[in-house]
Chain A
Amino acid sequence: MEPIRDERELVATLESLRPGPRDEFIAELDERAGAGFPPASRPRLASVQRLRQHLVARPRRRLPAIAAGAAVSAIAVATAVIAVSEGPQSRSRTSPIGTAPERLAPTTPAGGAGGVAPSPSRAAPAGTAAPSAAPASGSGPYAAQAERRKVEHSTSIVLEAPPSELRADAARVFDAVREYDGIVLHSSVSGGPEGGNASFDLLLPTARLGDAVATLSEIADVVSRQDSSQDVTARSIGLSERLADARARVAGLLHQLADAETEAQRSAAEAELHIARRRLAAIRSRLSALERRVHLSSVSLRIEGDSGAAGSESSWGIGDALRAAGHVLAVAAGVTLVALAGVALPALIILLLWLGRRALVRRSRKRALDSAH
């Protein structure tokens, strides 16, 4: 047989080898195509298949828009819920110090000696452990020592009130100090119809400091509040030990004086005794001052008369609106960030898995052709 002479002949022969489909198959396929390639015969899959076809038939670009819309709606709802539940953050009228004892005394667990009592405890002696209804934050090996710790507290409060209410508010300060057995070290009130201020330097019993500050905070709008504390237990112990040493020294010198046999010995003992007694007095004075600072906390209170301050809770200004808007935006940004963080990692994992699977399928398809017979 003659070999195939040229490429044209080869191509023609090749084309003649083109397989054709069966007529029955063509008819069946035409029918299915006419019906829009209906889903499989099992009826319970039909609705799923139709839904799938409906989703797949939608232009792809709509799906990200739908997903974005759903995400924005969810963020908006979460923002509204959080913003409403938190409420406006500034101008809090009540922020009782007693509810956050940890902030006040980092070295003193709640209810510690000299610390702030979370609840009124008029019977508790000042400077010692106050019975606390709140659970002690310390539960470690030093919790048992909490009652013996000594802490100095100081608080600074700034309130804001309409100038017309300044004097009445000042009077309420005096009433509050009296109620809690405190001391007004210094006070001044000045102002007029346009503005003014009142300032107070107070000493309040530490055991009732929380309640006292809460009462003072209710007098007008709180603009700012600062609390500080210092643990002086070590200093107190040191002074107490030095006091004991000084007493022992005085006692020893008194014995020495009683045993003196000569005038010279007596003079020497008296001179040393004089010095020892002066030192004892000084130590005693320092310890007393420390104890006083522990038992009586200093509070600096200032009331600023501001004609723009809200006299009643119903007034609402541009500043309040801007603050509220800022608060809502901050919450929305926070919710969005949290949502993105929560979604990003799973989405990344899914994306990586999907890409990996696609790469695997692509590679195995290539291999399939090479390994075909």
Chain B
Amino acid sequence: MSETLAASAEEAPAGYLDFDELYRSSRNDVYAYAAGLLRDRAAAEDITATAFERAYRKRSRFDARRGSARAWLFGIARNAALDELRRRGRLAELIGEPVDLATSPASSQSGEQAERRILVAAALERLEPRERELLALKFFACLSNAEIASLLGTTESNAGTMLHRTIAKLREACHGAD
């Protein structure tokens, strides 16, 4: 896979992004973001594939002056995810395989850690979708504040403020559940 993509990158004129590198470094992050937002494994897989397909087709249009390649990619992924949510809004039921974050495997966890995971996962469910998305972008997709700001169309400081508030709200939700 990497040879084909590398070859096409070599043939591409100067200014094209290194799609191979972007794919390798962001694949799992895009999935994690989509799954965190949609809470549906099958939908998250579709969104991930769709996002990379679209990014591959539009790779010649990437303009580094507008932002980083990851922000550009996540912009495409976000639109794909929101289109999925729009589609769901027209359907009566959620179809697919729900993702239970609390049961996602952790490499090693003590009983206390497992309890904390359950607590935080339950608190996440009580957040608004926008707040959940913000946390997904930051902690699942591992985007920087600047990249999140670029994606949401706001300033970096505003993005940082929103994140701080959301984390505080999550903490309260965890205390409230307790």
CB contact between A368 and one of B23, B60, B86, B99 (< 8 Å): that residue: B86
Q: With an 8 A cutoff between CB atoms, is B21 at the interface?
A: no
Does B31 contact A16, Cβ atoms closer than 8 Å? no
Complex: chain A residue closest to B13, CB-CB = A59
Task: Type the 1/0 row for A209-236, where 1 means its CB is closer than 8 Å to any CB of B.
Answer: 0000000000000000000000000000
Does B104 contact A14, Cβ atoms closer than 8 Å? no
How far, in angstroms, from A371 to B135 measured CA to CA in the complex?
Answer: 18
Does A11 contact B31, Cβ atoms closer than 8 Å? no
Task: Type the 1/0 row for A21-49, where 1 means its CB is closer than 8 Å to any CB of B.
Answer: 11001100111111111000000000000
How far, in angstroms, from A35 to B23 measured CA to CA in the complex?
Answer: 13
Q: With an 8 A cutoff between CB atoms, is B28 at the interface?
A: yes
Does B139 contact A33, Cβ atoms closer than 8 Å? no
Complex: chain A residue closest to B50, CB-CB = A37
Chain A residues 1-32 with CB under 8 Å of chain B are 1-4, 7, 9-11, 13-22, 25-26, 29-32
How far, in angstroms, from A371 to B101 measured CA to CA in the complex?
Answer: 21
Q: Give the total of B residues in contact with A, Cβ under 8 Å.
A: 64
Chain B residues 140-158 with CB under 8 Å of chain A are 140
Does A370 contact B31, Cβ atoms closer than 8 Å? no
Does A13 contact B59, Cβ atoms closer than 8 Å? no
CB contact between A4 and one of B3, B4, B119 (< 8 Å): that residue: B119
A167 to chain B, nearest CB (A): 76
Query: Assuming A15-B139, A56-B58, A57-B57, is B89 touching A371 (CB within 8 A)?
Result: yes
Q: Give the total of A residues in contact with B, Cβ under 8 Å.
A: 45
Query: Assuming A19-B104, A36-B5, is B178 touching A369 (CB within 8 A)?
Result: no
Chain B residues positioned under 8 Å from A26 (CB to CB): 27
Complex: chain A residue closest to B105, CB-CB = A20
Does A32 contact B116, Cβ atoms closer than 8 Å? no
Chain A residues positioned under 8 Å from B121 (CB to CB): 17
How far, in angstroms, from A369 to B133 measured CA to CA in the complex?
Answer: 9
Q: Report B's interface with A, CB cutoff 8 A.
A: 1-5, 8, 13, 23, 27-28, 31-32, 35-36, 41, 44-45, 48-49, 52-53, 56-61, 79, 82-83, 85-86, 88-89, 94, 99, 101-102, 104-106, 109, 112-113, 115-117, 119-121, 124, 128-130, 133, 135, 139-140, 167, 170-171, 174-175, 178
Known: A11-B167, A20-B32, A20-B105. 7 other contacts (CB 8 A): A3-B178, A7-B171, A19-B101, A20-B31, A22-B41, A365-B83, A367-B86
Q: Report A's interface with B, CB cutoff 8 A.
A: 1-4, 7, 9-11, 13-22, 25-26, 29-37, 53, 56-60, 364-373
